Structure 1
Amino acid sequence: MLNILGAFLLYLAIALFFQRRILRYLRFFQQQEYKNRLYLEWILEKRAFDSRASLLLACLSVIALFCGQSNELFILAAQLLAAIAIIIIPCFEEDPRKFGKVPLKMTERALRIYRLSLVLYSCILLLSFITLPSQSLILQSLVLIFLVQSTPLFLVAANCLLQPFEQKLQQTFLNEAKAKIRSINPYVIGITGSYGKTSTKSILAELLNVALGPTFWPPKSYNTLMGITREIRERLVPGYRYAVVEMGAYGIGSIEKLCELCPPKAGIVTAVGLMHLERFGSEANVFCAKSELAKAVPKDGILVCNGDNEGARQIAAQNPKAITLLYGLDCSKGHLDCTVSEVSFSEEGAHFFLHWKGNRHKAQTKLLGKTSLSNILAAFTMACALGAKPELLIAALQNIEPVDNRLSLQKIGDVLWLKDAYNSNPEGFAAALEVLQAIPASRRILMTPGMIELGEKQYESNYNAAKKAAGICDLLIIVGVTNRKPLEEGLMAAGFPKEKLLFMPGRQEGFEFLSDNLKTGDVVLIENDLVDLYEPNTKF
């Protein structure tokens, strides 16, 4: 009887432990967009296996091995203490719904996966409790260790079982969104590119709102099929004349599906670059994916492309429309319909002359960096092509605020913070360093984990960025280990002083160091911030 009671307490503790621990795994599963293969690869790469509960169970099996089953009261006491300890473990772990750079959002889909995984796990636990002999504590402990270690697999299993339901539900939502956008019938402008999509979307939408009429656009970086679907279902209402839709490519065919949902009458291609090269496999696949928007724009539509970018310029040449326009900063690469000159940066923003249709307009903006100017040119060119008056757009540019963590400048006390923490890329990194160099400072400090998802170009891109930073920065902090080697080697190759180079295990440690060591007149550039998936110190 005591054996059964002890086993029951142990199994109950594991069930309660799973209920909390699975939420931590679910946060990372959500960040992998519920992609089973990517999630399992992350588990193996990071060795994200349990150590705490498994160690307790292993100790319990050792106790049973040396003590045998003769002393039932002693074994029961050991099981009780182990059960209490296992229940307590999650109480000292962070709540993933409140903790992390990207906390767990308990969406309806996340709740479905969570609840089904609980059901599956409970069934396996119950089956194990019924079938295993209660007097065999060693066997029980080994089985429970296996179940604890396989915790993340239950999320994958639940996700697979729910897949048919999710697909049917998503199709229902898609049909509703398609019907709604066709009923309201706004003039749809699609925006895609390896970088610059979100900022260009925000700038264009604000310009159209001022110059041409009510404009709908999804917030933040919403650019997936189901993300756009949700925004259309929940926020698109009659009265909107224009809709600016950011179209992200997560593989060949992604943008094509978005164009089926929101048939574009005009499109902007900001760049064809190296971002997410690992996801696509080759630069040719990136080009093919980004071309899908241009192909979807009708012959009598408008196509605006970045003339500074070879891939975007090529897309424009291969997909001519009734109106095809090129914008850019570098006239040496060929004809440009819209460009700038006499650019200068300060704490207040950028001052420049904008050239359009043979006219020269004096302009200023709160936005910083050449990448921001490129995004402004894209939005300005499209707005003019749609009929907006250039003078009105120039005036509106002065009031546009930077998108969060995209070269936004903030003064805290006597220190300037240049925040460019969102999804860094080689062009954006270089532009941020130029802004850092342009701002007067007693010390210029860079904190970065480097750039990711660049495939075989990742080492080279980080190495080159570090060489450029070496000639600008007085102090450099490398965060994490993901790109430590190329960044360090690039800095050393450029002759950067070793004593001015610091390594921090994570972002939090970097900020703690800065808070204790910043001086009056310092300017700090925060370049990129990797999501929790890249944190090296995830412990279970």
Structure 2
Amino acid sequence: MFPPLILLWTYLLFFNPDPCFSSLSFPLFLCSPYNSLHSHLTVIGITGSFGKTSVKDFLFTILSGWEETLKTPESYNTVFGIAKVVDLELLSKTKFFICEMGAYVRGEIKEICRMVPPDYAILTAIGSQHLERFKSIESTTQAKFELIDSVNSKHALVNLDNPLIATRITLSQYHGVKTYSLVNPQADFFVKKYVFSPEGLKFVLIYQDKEYSYVSSLFGTSNLYNLTAAISMALMMKVPEKIISQQVGQITPSPHRLELKKINQATLIDNAFSSNEDGFTSLISDLSKLPGKKVLITPGIVELGLRTVEVHQRIGGLASKVFDKFILVGKSIRTLSLEQGIKKTVSFIPNSTNLWPLIEELSQDYDWILIENDLPDNF
């Protein structure tokens, strides 16, 4: 039995001759009874080449401590996935809906915004992730900014430390867009100082000349960016500071995204969900500041297109200065390029199927074990 809204939507999409229903942009919230049930709803759209799922999860923890909140589950970020969530899970009492928006081509995020019109927007980053599909960084940039273009600029929040975003928001139509940064004090939300350790993060965020101090169990600079985005949006939405501070202490990593697990004497960093150039580089830098012997296990980064060799050789060179042992998963252009950059002895394993016995063995002799990305068989 198909849910009624999905049946209606499918009919309008494929059979209704009216051109206003000829694309996937049919607004779900304009459909009765959704119009009356959700007139009070505030929608927060989140997109980016990376970081969007973690920001969504962190913001959900904050907002759910204040009002009834729904988020798209896991990585449900396509038109049909979001339609399913709205149809089956959105309740009349829901105050906030946090909607992760993904895309592989230009126009997809624009369609999602027509279907689920956002009131607020967060753009986490633009990078080489999925470059193989977007074909160019300019195309990626235009696709991600479809979300920012869909809201009042004063309700948009972007990462000022991302060069591609910083360049684009100088255009006149983005006047008023709010920014967050770990390095630029001109940002609307600026992390004045921070300390990270295996125990977590401590940092001070400045907004409108006021300082806010936070403590979190999250690990790494990438998570600090994600948490800063979530807190900044909560402040924009006027969530009481007491609730924000309380809920930040409850935030845990999104599954397989910089999760720390203790195994014997070693700390396992489970970053197996996916990988991207910026995050990988940042994590290598973070680990360079921590003592102990370190192991890197990775199949590399997918969908980099023509930059695959260049990126992996560069990351291999950085990793060679930090890690003591290298285990590369599969022999591919990615891992062979990593080997060229590392310029040290590396080990290859055919796949990650039986990885845990190896991790158990490594945990006897090493202090840090990083699993960076975990590819499906078709890669």
Contact 2:121/2:155 (8 A) holds in 1: yes
Aligned AA (1:386): M
Question: Would you say the 8 A contact 1:480–1:506 is kept in 2?
Answer: yes
Residue among 82, 86, 104 paired with 1:250:
104
Shift of residue 228 of structure 1? 0.5
For 1:379 and 1:314, locate their aligned partners in 2 and report how far apart those are by CA, in whole Å.
Answer: 22
Q: Is the 8 A contact 2:201 2:219 kept in 1?
A: yes
Query: 1:455 matched to which residue of 2?
Result: 305
User: Shift of residue 312 of structure 1?
Assistant: 2.0
Which of 184, 190, 205 is equivalent to 1:354?
A: 205
Contact 2:265 2:363 in 1 (8 A): no
Query: Residues 118-139 of structure 1: CA distance to partner in whole angstroms, max 9, x if unpaired?
Result: xxxxxxxxxxxxxxxxxxxxxx
Alignment match, 1:382: 233
What residue is the counterpart of 2:282 in the other structure? 431
User: What CA distance in whole angstroms lies between the structure 1 residues aligned with 2:174 and 2:62?
Assistant: 23
Report matched runs for 1:93-112 at 5 Å.
none
1:371 alignment partner in structure 2 = 222
Q: What whole-Å deviation, never above 9, does each CA across 1:299-338 have from its counterpart, x for those lacking one?
A: 6x5010100012222443337568521101121xx72111
Which deviations, in whole Å up to 9, do the C-alpha atoms of 1:227-271 show, x marking residues without a partner? 001111110010111111111012011001100111111111111
Structure 2: distance between partners of 1:275 and 1:341? 29
Partner of 1:291: 145
Q: What is residue 6 of structure 2 aligned with on the other side?
A: none
Q: What is residue 201 of structure 1 aligned with on the other side? A: 56
> Residues 461 and 166 from structure 1, CA distance in 2 versus in 1: closer, same or farther, beyond 3 angstroms?
farther
C-alpha offsets along residues 374-430 of structure 1, whole Å, 9 cap, x if unaligned?
111111111111112334313321110100111010113332110111220011112
Q: Residue 372 of structure 2 aligns to which amino acid in structure 1?
A: E
Alignment deviations for residues 179-224 of structure 1 (CA, whole Å, 9 cap, x no partner): 265441311111111111101111112212224x211111111100
Segment of structure 1 superposing worse, 410-419 or 444-453: 410-419
Structure with the larger strand share: 2
SS of match in other structure, 1:418: strand
1:304 equivalenced with 2:154 (yes/no): no
Q: Structure 1 residue 344: deviation in Å?
A: 2.2
TM-score (norm 1): 0.63
Matched with 2:42 is 187
Q: How does 1:53-68 map to 2 (within 5 A)?
A: none
Alpha-carbon distance change, 315 to 491 in structure 1, aligned in 2, over 3 angstroms: same
- Give the letter aligned to residue 529 of structure 1: D
SS of match in other structure, 2:177: strand
Name the structure where helix makes up a greater proportion of residues. Answer: 1
Asked if residue 276 in structure 1 is aligned to residue 276 in structure 2, the reply is no
1:431–1:275: structure 2 CA closer, same or farther, 3 Å change rule? same
Number of residue pairs the alignment of both structures matches: 362
The answer on whether the counterparts of 2:263 and 2:363 sit within 8 Å (CA) in structure 1 is: no
CA distance in 2, matches of 1:321, 1:464: 34
* Amino acid paired to 2:65: V
Unpaired stretches in structure 2, ≥5 consecutive residues: 3-9, 16-20
Kindly report which structure 2 residues correspond to 1:385-424, keeping only aligned pairs within 5 A, or say none.
Answer: 385-424=236-275
Structure 1 residue 451, shift from structure 2 partner: 0.6
Q: Is residue 331 of structure 2 the alignment partner of residue 481 of structure 1? A: yes
- Indicate the residue corresponding to 1:503 in structure 2: 348
Residue 469 of structure 1 aligns to a residue whose secondary structure is helix
Q: State the match for 1:217 in structure 2.
A: 71
Distance 1:521 1:527 in 2: 17
Aligned residue identity for 2:120: A
CA separation of 1:201 and 1:374: change in aligned 2, threshold 3 A: same
Give the superposition deviation at 1:460: 1.4
User: Structure 1: which 5+ residue stretches go unaligned?
Assistant: 1-106, 109-163, 535-540
Are residues 514 and 387 of structure 1, via their aligned partners in 2, closer, same or farther at CA, if it must alter by over 3 Å? closer
SS in 1 for 2:294: strand
Q: Is the 8 A contact 2:264 2:364 kept in 1?
A: no
Identity of aligned residues (%): 30
Greater Rg over alpha carbons, structure: 1
Higher relative contact order, chain-length normalized (CA < 8 Å, sep 6+) = 2
**2:13·2:24 contact (CA, 8 Å) conserved in 1?**
no
Q: Evaluate the alpha carbon distance shift between residue 375 and residue 390 of structure 1 in structure 2; reply closer, same or farther with a 3 A threshold.
A: same
Structure 2 partner of 1:445: 295
SS of the aligned residue for 2:284 comes to: helix
Give, in whole Å, the separation in 2 of the partners of 1:407 and 1:171.
42
RMSD after superposition: 2.7
Q: Secondary structure at the match of 1:532?
A: coil
2:178 alignment counterpart: 325
Matches of 1:328 and 1:238 in 2, distance apart?
36
User: In terms of mean alpha carbon deviation, does 186-195 or 511-520 score higher?
Assistant: 511-520
Report the Cα distance in structure 1 between the residues aligned to 2:147 and 2:260, rounded to whole angstroms: 33
- Which residue identity does 2:299 align to in structure 1? P
